[in-house]
Structure formats: C-alpha cells, structure tokens
Structure 1
Amino acid sequence: MKWSVVRGGHVIEIVTRMTGHSPVAISRDRLKLLDFTPLEREHQAAVQLDVVMSRFAIDDAGHIVKLYIRDKFTDVHADLALSLTRLKQFSALNHPHSAAGVSDCGMAELLSHPALEDVTYQGNQKLTGAFFNALRPGSSITRIGVPFCPIDDASLALADGCSLTHISLRGSQVSDDSIDTLASMRSLQQVHVKQTRVTRIGVERLRNLLPGCWIDMLDRPHDG
C-alpha cells in the first residue's frame, strides 16, 4: 500500500509501515525528515534535526532544500545545517519573541553555507546583527529577514555594500542613520522597515537613492 505527500511542490510516494499482517499508514504529523532522505550524509543530519524542525522540502534527488525550524535550533544545529549541501532556504520563528535559538556566531556560520540563498529568523533576541560581517563578496545569500530581532544601525553597517536583494528589518532598532547602509546595497529590490525608528523622511531619502527598490513604509511608530 502506498500514498503520496507533497513536499516543496514535489509528490513523494511513501510505502506504509507494516504491523503484523496489516499495512498502517504513517500519520502526517508523525512523518520524520529522515523518512524522506535516502542520502546517507543528509540522513544522519536529519536524525538530529527532527527534534527542532517543523516542516521541510526536498528536491527530486532527495536533497533537503528548505527547512522550517522551531525555537530550539541552536549553534550546534547550525553546524548540522551545513551538511545539507543543497539547502536553499532556512526559516525559523521564535513566538513569542525570546532569546532562544542561535547566537550571532551560529547565524554567521549558517550564512557561510555555499548554497544557501534565503534566511529568515524572526523574534530571536540573541541576534544583534554581528553576523552581518559574514556577508562576504560573492556570498550566495540574497535574502535576509530578521524581523523583531535587536538589530541596530551599528550592526547593520557591517552589511555595507553587500549583494542582498531583499532584507526585512521590521521591528528592529534601525533608524534613519541606516539609510546610507541600505543605499549601499545596490542590488536591493525590497526592504521592510515597519515598526522601526526609520522616519518618513528617511524612507523618501532611500527611495531617491534606490528608485528601483520597493520599501515597506506602513505602520511605523516614528513617522517624522
């Protein structure tokens, strides 16, 4: 007996487990990452990542390409993520916001992944922005989202001139002093600055400096 489940746009055929003489289908909420990962190296990482992971996606070859993580993801798990050689997207959420999760060091390690393109970590109060220093020239990272993390102007300045196309700083501590840093990201197509200290004047200045960039400017408490 077989059934199918969709992961990342791909339909994966699963053979049901056998108990005695009767086939028993695996409940969706009991499916483990390792059940989908035939590759030995990634299988070993999957065994340890299952305790912190909520959802995932794989490609046709069985490589893990997306991870959706809970707040128990630590610096140790960041090292495991590096073993997923085709990982493209990483997303983690602390709800409510807390100091659980990776540190700046762990985030920097994650950003060093040669295939990773899109990283979001929401509500992690450990992330101060020191990890931006890991965005070296030629980095594969094009999208970073750190909403409701304590990023300030000084730490964002470490990303000066990087090749990001999208960045979310919603709920952070950045202000108009970060406009020059954002303007230095010449590939930037989208930036979120809701609920920050960036004023309407700062938004208009950034719009003039990056006319092709879409700027989220709604719901800001400081509307100078």
Structure 2
Amino acid sequence: MLTWLTRDSLSFPPLEKALQDPNGLLAAGGDLSADRLIAAYRHGCFPWYQDGQPILWWSPDPRTVLFPDELHVSRSLAKLMRRGRYQVSFDGDFAAVIAACAAPRDYADGTWITGGMQAAYLELHRRGIAHSVEVRMDGELVGGLYGLAMGRLFFGESMFSRADNASKVGFATLVEHLRQAGFALIDCQMPTDHLHSLGARAISRASFAEHLATYLDQPSSATWVA
C-alpha cells in the first residue's frame, strides 16, 4: 500500500516498502520544502512527478550509480576535453542550468522539473547543498547538470546538452573533481545509455542504503567555486 505523507512530518516509510510496479514508488504527498528534500535524499529516495500529479517519491531497485574510479572516458571524449572546445565551471549559474534542464525536449512530453521543483532546488543551492556544472562554448551555455552533495555522496538530478557531447564533458569533469575530493559514489537514479557509456552501473537498493549509512556524514574536501 502506498504511503501518503503529511506536511507536518518529514519521515518516510522504510525503503523496502517501495512498490515493485511501478518500480520504486515509495510514497506520495508532502511538500518540496528544503528540509523534506534533505530528509528524502538522506533516506534514499527522491521526488519525480509530472504537473498535475501529487508529489511522488521514488527509491528504485536496482539503483543506477557511478563509482568515481570507474568513470569511463572514451578516446574521442578525452580528445574533445583536451582540445578545450568547452569551458567548465561549478556553481556559476545554477538558475540557468536548472531552467535549461527543465526546457522541453524533442524526445519527451512535458517536464518533471516543474516550477515548484526549480524553486525548491534553488533554495538548496542557496543553502550550499545543491550545485551546478556549467559547460560553455565561446561564452554561451551549451550544457550542464545539477545535483546535491552530501558528505561523500553526490546525488545527480538532471543534465542537458545543446552541443555535441557537452553534457558528457561536464559530467566527466565533475566526476574527476569529486574523485579528487574523496567522494565515494554518484547517484544516477535511473539507467540510461548515456550514463552507462560513462561507467554507471546498477547496484541493489540494499547496497545503496549501505553506502548512504557509511558516507552521508563523512566530510569531503570538495570546493565549489563560481
């Protein structure tokens, strides 16, 4: 049975209560306050829903993740990065990145990054928890991604690309930055060919929960400079 959340409690049901069909649906309702979002990621779930739906909270099994040491950079991607065609920065324009991620795409109807979602993650950015990666070419924003950094874990949310391999360049640059800062795992949530080509793989929900328990409260040396 699906759990409905109330606004006066930040607690979530145990992850093993998530439905099998649809895979990982854990709860519905609640709100998108910064405190609830922080509680959700710490618990192992995330919001994902369409306009007109209640807020839906998910914890899929298996979970797609990337271990920084397993990043795969193809020869062509490495060559592109060496050429310096793209310039990559962190936290340079979070609002522009999340707005671009929310923009309509040819292969999808609508967006799950609603206005309420954008406002919620902007608040997390103001709190120093949510971070963006900007990829520019000749000063123009052509790619990027955003997510949350907690302890030695990074929770990826969405990425976009307006030029060939721009999002891959941004992601690979971020992963190397996180690896050097001692991050243990990057949560990619759901599988895509794009992520698998970069080294992402599936682990069980139970294994993901173990990584949360181990690394959420461990300090890292990551710096985020606009």
Same fold (TM > 0.5): no
TM-score by length of 1: 0.30
Highest RCO, 1 vs 2 (Cα 8 Å, sep ≥ 6): 2
**Which structure's CA Rg is the greater one?**
1
